[in-house]
Amino acid sequence: MKITRFLICLAILAGAFKSISFAQDTLKIKPVAPAVTTPSAAPVLLSTTRLGIAGMAHDHVNGILSEYQQGKVIIVGIAEADRQLRAKYQQKYHLPDSIFYDDLKKMVLATKPEAVLGYNPVAKHIDIVEICAPLGISVMVEKPLAATLAQAKRMEFLALKYYIKLLTNYETTWYPSYQHVYNMASKDSIGQIRKMVVHDGHQGPKEIGCSKEFLSWLTDPDLNGGGALIDFGCYGADLMTWLMDGQRPVAVTAVARHFKLNVYPKVEDDVNIVIEYPTATGLIEASWNWPFSIKDLEVFGEKGYMHALDRSNTLTRINDNTSNATTTNTLEPPLDNPVTYLQLVLKNRLLGINDRSSLKYNMIVMQILDAAKRSIAEGRRIVL
């Protein structure tokens, strides 16, 4: 019996080895194809929102066109009457002829975007809202909201009448360092805010190489609403409105300088604005005369200080303790990108009401800028 079992085991083992040998031979004859991998073949969509573009004369349009070229966003139509400008960007970003239109209304009626992004002169932001609002199409424009307070009031009326979202995009909204300062201040980490200082600007739009199409309206007092005051003063007004939880200032005082008459003959190139709140003071230093590009934010509280040095780095000092440096590189998605933020706002009507992009806060920004203009013109403190 034992011998029989032993022979059976040998037979089983022999069969197993034969099967393995056969399998190996088979593999040699018919090798298994490796799994096909396509790294980075299909970029992840930032947003599924159908976007329309109004105008291409603002150099910030490069950002959204770059994302379109990479397959990250959906652009259904671009309205731009300047054929040369269209050709410039069409060649640079390989844009199809089919998405171009001479007229904004024709574009939105033909392509039915869910939202329109404005990259045209500030004074023409109102034209986008006049067309889009009655059609129920939300709008996001590049900062600031409008060239004048009167334009902003008309845009606000249309947005509220037709229940659309009207948002303003600021570069600094997507700075992790600024969000960190706000979060810490909101937690009372530095005590009640007493002073805010914002430095914004660069060597000048011509000096840093802005396109001729951009310069043609950025340095025009009617098309832009001013010079450095509008271009960079709006950042500080928006940030302070945010930090002060939507409070309207008590008063605004501003002084404008014109250092580069030969370069910017029509508009001021340097502005200082003092904004008074019941419990705090804000100072905005906006200029086309900095020795380098700068965007920073300082907040002084009763017991501490925070300084957003740039996009990522902050300094914190509580009482007399040594400064603590922090690097914050990312924001939590989808609140890390204007397009994903826009998509979220369109899906949730409760969002975009009390933040840096909101219509409510940007109407206060426009009141501050309007008061600053009047203060410069009249040489006095403007009480709001």
Q: Which domains does the chain have, with CATH numbers?
A: 50-170 (3.40.50.720), 173-331+352-383 (3.30.360.10)
* Dihedral in degrees, nearest 10, Cα atoms 357, 236, 198, 306: -40
Rounded to the nearest integer, the mean pLDDT of the chain is 90
The continuous run of DSSP H or E covering 84 comes out as helix 83-93
Helix, coil or strand: residue 226:
coil
Predicted local distance difference test score (pLDDT) of residue 42 = 59
- Cis amide prior to 34 (ω within 30 degrees): no
Buried b (16+ CB within 10 A) or exposed e, 324-335: eebebeebeebe
- What residues does 139 pair with on adjacent strands? 116, 166
Q: How far apart are CA 281 and CA 273, in angstroms?
A: 10
pLDDT at 17 > cutoff 80: no
Got the DSSP string for 317-368? Answer: EETTSPPEEEE---PPTTTTSHHHHHHHHHH-TTSSSSSTTSHHHHHHHHHH
pLDDT at 372 > cutoff 70: yes
Mean pLDDT of 341-345: 96
Q: How far apart are CA 316 and CA 299, in angstroms?
A: 10
Helix, coil or strand: residue 183:
helix
Q: How confident is the model at residue 349 (pLDDT cuts 50, 70, 90)?
A: confident
pLDDT tens profile 270-328:
999 999 999 999 999 999 999 999 999 999 999 999 999 999 999 999 988 878 899 98
Q: Give the dihedral sign, CA 33/36/37/38.
A: positive
Predicted local distance difference test score (pLDDT) of residue 43 = 65
Predicted local distance difference test score (pLDDT) of residue 178 = 98
Q: How confident is the model at residue 329 (pLDDT cuts 50, 70, 90)?
A: confident
Residues 6+ apart with CB under 8 A from 59: 210, 211, 214
pLDDT tens profile 190-246:
999 999 999 999 999 999 999 999 999 999 999 999 999 999 999 999 999 999 999
Look at the block and give the residue holding tokens 């996001």. Answer: 140
pLDDT at 29 > cutoff 60: no
Residues 6+ apart with CB under 8 A from 188: none
Mean pLDDT of 352-365: 97
pLDDT at 182 > cutoff 70: yes
Question: From the centroid of its chain, how far is CA 153?
Answer: 23
pLDDT tens profile 57-94:
999 999 999 999 999 999 999 999 999 999 999 999 99
Q: How confident is the model at residue 34 (pLDDT cuts 50, 70, 90)?
A: very low
